[in-house]
């Protein structure tokens, strides 16, 4: 959520930002906020004047009683009784306007960083870095879902037909161990970078949900617990950032750097839908996340550092990746700047998304009231989040890039201490 001062002082800047995001249907929201804010300020001015008048009347009553002017005292007492009623009526209107303004402000996109390329959608994202050498072997790369079954490491049919439905699966044996090993490596990788490890709640309240994400994302992603004010998290970033709601952090607590593990739950409503049989688009997966809460002037320094942490991890996993700078039209409303990491798929001969890094600047902090206490008072922090590793997408990339001619999967050195084995062979269930 942006600062309402921007709309008061420079509404054209806000409108220009909306145009850069190709959301022209939201231009009218700026005028709506401006109009309602002006009405709110007029009413607040009236209420403040009435409070001043109440003080003057109270003093007048005292003076009239001292002068034993009972008639004047009674007139002033009558007037004094009417003022609170007028104030209450005005406050009812201002409170209602505050809520209306807040709901509209939630829909107005964050101001994008000046470095963000302008483009309509993800097709106009810019490649900024390639790490590793993408290659295509001479032998055919088996589809990860098919290979998982050949390895005796996955059961899609039972999950889909008997226990859970589409978008779920069972991982078994060495493939399940590999899955957990990758997450353990990701965890330890971040701990070495001085991020505190945390396992957060897997459910959060609605006011935390609206604090960390846009309404559109909420409707398409989140599962609501029936009969309760709770949602299953779509990523641990949500409950991790929510942990600091209404907090004023001292300078000694900044920066706060956390890495968290959680299962994640997503509806995956949209054009892509759920995989009929596979790992890529599913309702449930596991993830290691990183978040930073920091001084505004330091947030892009941490943005670069967080990107490096992701690149170093995939180097250790020996998976070729590239970094895409997200263009303006591909940024969700709270994002000021974001980039995606994509892994190379030798089977599809193209890259696919596996991670996403975002600087929200003060948008989330403003929604959740997360502040820093400095020498000149309190001010909003900047918040950033980045996927360390999300499985099963990382597992897909791993299975394709380390798949051998005989269908086995070679395990790189970085994972040996976590798996206890160096290869997974077809039909190997040990």
DSSP character at residue 160: I
Q: What percent of the chain has pLDDT over 90?
A: 81
Cα torsion angle, 142, 144, 149, 151, sign: positive
Q: Are residues 183 and 62 in the same domain?
A: no
Q: Are residues 381 and 276 in the same domain?
A: yes
If 0-12 CB within 10 Å is exposed, 13-18 middle and 19+ buried, where does residue 108 land?
buried
Is the pLDDT reported for residue 12 higher than 70? yes
How far separated are the first and last CA of the chain, in Å rounded?
Answer: 52
Q: Are residues 297 and 370 in the same domain?
A: yes
* pLDDT computed for residue 430 by the predictor: 43
Q: pTM of this prediction?
A: 0.90
pLDDT averaged over the chain?
93
Over residues 330-350, the pLDDT tens digits come to: 999 999 999 999 999 999 999
State the average pLDDT over residues 54-65: 83
* pLDDT computed for residue 64 by the predictor: 80
* Domain extent for 26: 4-105
Q: Are residues 35 and 164 in the same domain?
A: no
Q: Are residues 99 and 140 in the same domain?
A: no
Query: Could you write out the DSSP letters of every residue in 50-97?
Result: HHHHHHHHHHHHHHHHHTT-HHHHHHHHHHHHHHHHHHHHHHHHHHHH
Q: Are residues 69 and 146 in the same domain?
A: no
Over residues 206-251, the pLDDT tens digits come to: 999 988 887 667 777 889 999 999 999 999 999 999 999 999 999 9
Q: Is there a domain that residue 115 lies in?
A: no
* pLDDT computed for residue 214 by the predictor: 72
Longest dimension (CA), the chain: 107
Q: Is there a domain that residue 117 lies in?
A: no
Over residues 266-312, the pLDDT tens digits come to: 987 655 667 667 888 899 999 999 999 999 999 999 999 999 999 99
State the average pLDDT over residues 12-31: 97
- Bond prior to 347 in cis (omega within 30° of 0): no
Domain count, the chain: 2
Query: Could you write out the DSSP letters of every residue in 289-301?
Result: EEEEEE-GGGHHH
Q: Are residues 208 and 325 in the same domain?
A: yes
Q: Are residues 72 and 183 in the same domain?
A: no
Kindly report the CATH number assigned to the domain that includes residue 40.
Answer: 1.10.287.40
Over residues 383-419, the pLDDT tens digits come to: 999 999 998 899 999 999 999 999 999 999 999 999 9
State the average pLDDT over residues 150-176: 94
What residues contact residue 50 under an 8 Å CB cut-off, 6+ apart?
83, 86, 87, 90
Q: Binning pLDDT at 50, 70 and 90, where does residue 363 land?
A: very high
Q: Are residues 172 and 250 in the same domain?
A: yes
Kindly report the CATH number assigned to the domain that includes residue 413.
Answer: 3.30.930.10
d(CA 411, CA 314): 13
Over residues 310-328, the pLDDT tens digits come to: 999 999 999 999 999 999 9
Q: Are residues 40 and 149 in the same domain?
A: no
d(CA 268, CA 383): 25
Q: Is there a domain that residue 116 lies in?
A: no
Q: Is there a domain that residue 341 lies in?
A: yes
End of a domain among 74, 105, 136?
A: 105
Q: Are residues 288 and 177 in the same domain?
A: yes
């Amino acid at each position: 959520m942006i600062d309402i001062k921007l709309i008061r002082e420079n509404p054209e800047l806000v409108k220009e930002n909306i145009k850069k995001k190709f959301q022209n249907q939201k231009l009218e929201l700026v005028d709506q906020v401006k109009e309602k804010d002006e009405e709110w300020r007029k009413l607040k001015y009236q209420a403040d004047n009435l409070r001043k008048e109440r003080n003057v009347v109270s003093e007048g009553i005292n003076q009239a009683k001292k002068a034993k002017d009972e008639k004047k005292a009674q007139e002033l007492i009558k007037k004094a009784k009417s003022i609170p009623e007028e104030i209450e009526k005005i406050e009812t209107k201002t409170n209602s306007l505050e809520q209306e303004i807040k709901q509209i402000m939630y829909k107005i996109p964050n101001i994008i960083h000046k470095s963000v390329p302008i483009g309509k959608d993800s097709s106009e994202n810019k490649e900024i870095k390639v790490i590793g050498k993408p290659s295509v072997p001479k032998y055919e790369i088996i589809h990860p879902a098919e290979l998982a079954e050949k390895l005796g490491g996955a059961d899609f049919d039972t999950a889909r037909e008997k226990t859970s439905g589409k978008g779920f699966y069972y991982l078994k044996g060495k493939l399940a161990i590999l899955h957990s090993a990758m997450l353990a490596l990701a965890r330890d990788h971040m701990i070495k970078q001085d991020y505190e490890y945390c396992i957060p709640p897997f459910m959060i309240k609605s006011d935390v949900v609206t604090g960390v994400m846009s309404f559109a994302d909420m409707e398409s992603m989140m599962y609501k617990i029936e009969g309760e004010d709770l949602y299953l998290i779509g990523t641990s970033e949500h409950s991790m950032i929510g942990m600091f709601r209404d907090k004023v952090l001292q300078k000694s607590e900044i920066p706060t750097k956390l890495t968290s593990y959680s299962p994640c739950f997503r509806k995956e409503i949209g054009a892509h839908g759920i995989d009929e049989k596979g790992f890529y688009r599913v309702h449930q997966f596991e993830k290691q996340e990183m978040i930073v809460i920091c001084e505004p002037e330091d947030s892009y320094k941490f943005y670069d550092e967080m990107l490096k942490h992701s690149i170093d991890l995939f180097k250790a996993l020996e998976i070729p990746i590239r970094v895409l700078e997200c263009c303006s039209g591909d940024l969700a409303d709270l994002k000021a700047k974001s980039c995606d990491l994509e892994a190379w798929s030798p089977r599809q001969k193209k890259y696919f998304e596996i991670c996403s890094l975002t600087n929200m600047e003060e948008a989330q902090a403003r929604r959740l009231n997360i502040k820093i206490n400095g020498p000149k008072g309190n001010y909003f922090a900047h918040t950033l989040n980045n996927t360390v590793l999300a499985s099963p997408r990382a597992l897909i990339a791993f299975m394709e890039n380390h798949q051998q001619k005989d269908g086995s999967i070679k395990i790189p050195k970085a994972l040996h201490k976590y798996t206890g084995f160096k290869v997974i062979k077809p039909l190997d269930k040990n």
